[in-house]
Structure 1
């Protein structure tokens, strides 16, 4: 029974729950950024480069059965060509950089909001208590008597 109780205490800690929420939100956020890349950014890249996606970029190392120019990576692979398919790697890097940038901007905004909350109004000067005033007066009188 101790194992189950310990596991329940571990699972109910705030940090574990925060981590679980972060993972779920991160997965959803990744899908949003991937959709933005696929549907907004890559069409603009396609206008400039003439390729629909980075994942279509490849270099033929040795041609396959057909030695004609391969238009798509699938054609090259189907013909048995040995290809250096660097486009998928580039696409993954672009996705990662955009996700990292979006997360950085979001965290930076949260930190700024948190700093604004932490700014405390200046503390009012603490007035001495009656006891402190009396002790100060007594000390002053004692110093006068010593002279």
Structure 2
């Protein structure tokens, strides 16, 4: 049972839980950005570039062919197309750029907030009991004179 206890303490450390939350949120954020790029951003860009759909852009190295059948017997098996799909790569680069910029802006906002907090002057520490007592004695002595 020692291993289970050690694993539980490891898995429940603050950094591990924070990392797990960050990975889940990052995955969801990545899906949102991918949808934004594929469904909102790229269609107008493709339209401006002559109706090109980037997700379908490719260079075919070897054309594929369908299977040739003679009844139920396969005469020639199907051959898959060999292609360089650079359109998908362009979409992925745009996705990455948008995600990187969004993360940059979030980090910049966090740093700005931290700088504002650091710039605020700290409240002076409360006087110690000795200082309070000495000031009372000083005030009493002033009143007697």
Instruction: Provide TM-score, normalisation by structure 2.
Output: 0.66
Distance 1:86 1:121 in 2: 54
1:7 maps to 7
1:98 maps to 98
Q: Is the 8 Å Cα contact of residues 58 and 87 (structure 2) preserved in structure 1?
A: yes
Q: CA offset at residue 62 of structure 1? A: 5.5
Cα deviation code 1:118-142 (max 9, x no counterpart): 3331564998x77xxxxxxxxxxxx
Which runs of no fewer than 5 residues in structure 2 stay unpaired? 66-77, 132-145
For these two proteins, the number of residue pairs brought into alignment is 119
Cα deviation code 1:99-121 (max 9, x no counterpart): 11111111211121122223331
Which runs of no fewer than 5 residues in structure 1 stay unpaired? 66-77, 131-147
SS class of match (1:7): helix
Distance 1:42 1:106 in 2: 24
Q: CA RMSD in A?
A: 3.1
Structure having the larger proportion of residues in strand: 2
